[in-house]
A and B are shown apart, each in its own frame.
Chain A
């Protein structure tokens, strides 16, 4: 069990989609489908919908908050987000969208495809064995 910092509350269990590289939501993810469109990104072509999205930190455009909010409204958002360091742009997006999010987590401990329990109410992350 790992303990971090709550960015946005809520409790979810799901499959981890892990990126070693930062994610820029604007210009990086299609707002209607949740598919990663940034050329050369490790997650290019993958879909964030209904996943627990794990990445070190945000990058790029400040419009990213609206993309996170739009993904949720379009039913294409991840069900949870886990970061090493959540910056204001992602934080604003997950708070508006109501997506559970925790940061200050050693994300190297989470492998792509792991089943993860994210309890953002008490800022914990558990990888199910």
Chain B
């Protein structure tokens, strides 16, 4: 890979030990994947934030970087933490867990990273533009920024995204290149997608089938950004889909080459099968919505559903602190709390220690959450639309 004189000097330690180490990592990656050069990035999203996810080795790794004076060079946002950073005591998160989580947040803060703690940075103040080069981790946010916005990022691992933030650069390969953004399989949707969970079920099925390919969808008549967020998140969790195109809906769909592609047709049968596969439980102990983090539109529809009602079991709506602020102002939070539910900010059901909080079966409307909860949180899952889950809890 070609390196400029300034970049060569970074490898000789001119900007200090930490920058040298971080730059060495991304140069290594660039060499492996035949990048021609380094390119500047507009922003970074860093995954690997919850103490439950990265445990002691990850925590010590981050604290070491922070202690050595690592600083980010570009706008950098953070993935969800393992708890609500403000209301963790009220929500009964364990104290020892909270202490470790706060160590991680302090390390990130001292590096100049914005303590956002959301998997939907694009709804919370980190919005790239079409064709902007970025270095994001968080599989669902990568999918959204590549596909729905048309920004350009590889599937960065948590540490390679952090290295890109500290260097302000990323190697130029993969999804940064136009020729690598072309679809290599066509998915023909021959069924109606009506409910929020339908998009998660479809995404779960397609991700399993196509692994790391780039799908070109035809036959999705309409979808809003919440539904595309759910579709992309599920494909990135059950497979490694980092970019998808939807005819008529996503910005690069008209521009890419889509002749002579192998085609898979998805009918109601496949979507129903995905529902059946994801449903491993019978009666949820808790319902958790907001994977990826709920938008204000999703929060308002929960509030509308719960207005003046009383819940028989706990309901969490996970979201970013920014969306929660707006929900507070609009009175949505009050409506949901009066019904017995909670808006939980900064975290989600996957990265918080729900299995240690006495829950065994969780109701979700997310294909991504339904994919992770059984293994990682030892939960049985009831997977259904938001409407169905809430109606059963009233």
Please give the residue numbers on chain A whose beta carbons come within 8 Å of chain B beta carbons, in ascending order: 5-7, 22, 24, 26-28, 31-32, 37-39, 56-67, 69-70, 72-74, 85-93, 95-96
**Chain A residues near B61 (CB, 8 Å)?**
66, 69, 96
Q: Do B161 and A62 touch across chains, with their CB atoms under 8 A apart?
A: yes
Query: Which parts of B201-220 form the interface with A (CB within 8 Å)?
Result: 207, 211-212
Query: Of B25, B142, B158, B375, which is within 8 A of A95 by CB?
Result: B25
Cβ contact within 8 Å between A22 and B211: yes
**Subset of 26 A-B contacts with CB under 8 Å:** A26-B376, A31-B55, A32-B55, A37-B376, A56-B211, A57-B211, A57-B240, A59-B239, A62-B137, A62-B157, A63-B157, A65-B157, A65-B160, A66-B53, A66-B159, A67-B53, A69-B159, A70-B55, A73-B56, A73-B57, A87-B155, A87-B212, A88-B157, A88-B160, A89-B156, A91-B29
- Chain B residues with Cβ under 8 A from A37's Cβ? 375-376
| Distance A95 CA – B33 CA, assembled complex (angstroms) | 14
Given known A-B contacts A7-B32, A27-B376, A69-B58, A60 and B240 have beta carbons under 8 A apart: yes
Query: What B residues does A91 contact at CB under 8 A?
Result: 29, 32, 157
B57 close to A70 (CB less than 8 A): yes
A40 nearest CB across to chain B (Å): 8
Q: Check B237 for interface membership: any CB of A closer than 8 A.
A: yes
CA distance A92 to B32 in the complex (A): 11
Say yes or no: B54 contacts A63, CB within 8 Å.
yes
Give min CB distance, B165 to chain A, whole Å.
Answer: 14
CB distance from B53 to the nearest CB of A (A): 5
User: Whose C-beta in chain A lies nearest to the C-beta of B49?
Assistant: A63
Candidates A26, A62, A74, A95; contact of B28 at CB < 8 Å: A95
- B contacts, CB < 8 Å to A: 25, 28-29, 32-33, 47-48, 53-58, 61, 79, 137-139, 142, 154-161, 174, 207, 211-212, 236-240, 280, 350, 371-372, 374-376
**Complex CA distance for A57 and B242, rounded to whole angstroms:** 14
Nearest-neighbour CB distance to chain A for B357, whole angstroms, equals 18
CB distance from B30 to the nearest CB of A (A): 10
Provide the residues of chain B in CB contact with A26, threshold 8 Å. 53, 376
Whether the Cβ atoms of B237 and A60 lie closer than 8 Å is yes
> B12 to nearest A CB, angstroms?
20
Taking a contact as CB atoms under 8 Å apart, the answer to whether B154 and A70 are in contact is no
The answer to whether B47 touches A61, judged by C-beta atoms less than 8 angstroms apart, is yes
- Closest-by-CB residue of B relative to A58 is B240
Across-interface contacts of B372 in A (CB, < 8 A): 27, 61
